[in-house]
Amino acid sequence: MRAQLLKSEVVQEWAEKNPRLWWAFEELDEDDDLNDAVLAGIVNERVSQGVITRLVRFADGLEAKERAETAGTMRPPPAVGERRSVTISVTRMTKVNWDRDKKFRVDFTTDHGWSGYFDTKNPKIVSTISKSNTVTVVGEIERHLYDFLVVLGGRVRIV
């Protein structure tokens, strides 16, 4: 069934229109819930913005990982619960509004091939990032999304 869906006209058309996202989709594990969400959205011709954002984040992470592997700078991300400073390159900063709590979600990559995101309400961080997309931050690794994608938290601050 899945193989038939992947060969369907609507899926092939989406793949041609979105080559970078299709590449990332093909790199996902078959049992990954993002894989199912993307495929269902394509087939129904309604891929949600949340699913696209997660797939873009995955693609950014894959590209950063490949660049680091080519450059020989690849290092695994810190362990969950570890707090350390890291220089990041911001790939995207978006305003999010959850539970009437306005925050900014900051997606980033590192020169070491791992990447991730964090949420902040801190105006100093937002201001600094809007002036320069490369900053050094300190944050705690809350969880690993994949072996090269993390979520930073625990009062992220700029060094």
- Each residue's pLDDT tens digit, 52-104: 999 999 999 999 999 999 999 999 999 999 998 999 999 999 988 767 778 89
User: Cα–Cα distances in Å, from 65 out to 12, 60, 71, 103, 157?
Assistant: 27, 9, 10, 27, 24
Answer whether CATH 2.40.50.590 is correct for domain 83-158: yes
Question: How far is the C-alpha of 57 from the C-alpha of 114, rounded, in Å?
Answer: 11
Band of residue 135 on the pLDDT scale cut at 50, 70, 90: very high
The answer to whether 21 and 63 are in contact (CB under 8 A) is no
Provide mean pLDDT across the span 126-151: 93
Q: Taking a C-beta distance cutoff of 8 angstroms, is the pair 142, 154 a contact?
A: yes
Return the number of other C-beta atoms located less than 10 Å from residue 141's C-beta.
Answer: 21
- CA–CA dist 11, 42 (Å, integer): 6
Measure the CA–CA gap between 145 and 156, rounded to whole angstroms. Answer: 18
Q: Write down how long the chain is.
A: 159
* pLDDT value at residue 5: 83
pLDDT of 2 strictly over 80: no
Q: Taking every pair of C-alpha atoms in the chain, what is the biggest distance, in angstroms?
A: 51
Average pLDDT on 98-118 reads 90
The confidence band for 6, taking pLDDT boundaries of 50, 70 and 90, is confident
Mean pLDDT of the region 9-25: 95
- Per-residue pLDDT at 20: 97
Q: Is the model's pTM score more than 0.85? A: yes
Q: Where are the domains of the chain?
A: 2-71, 83-158
Angle at which helices 9-17 and 19-27 cross, to 10°: 110
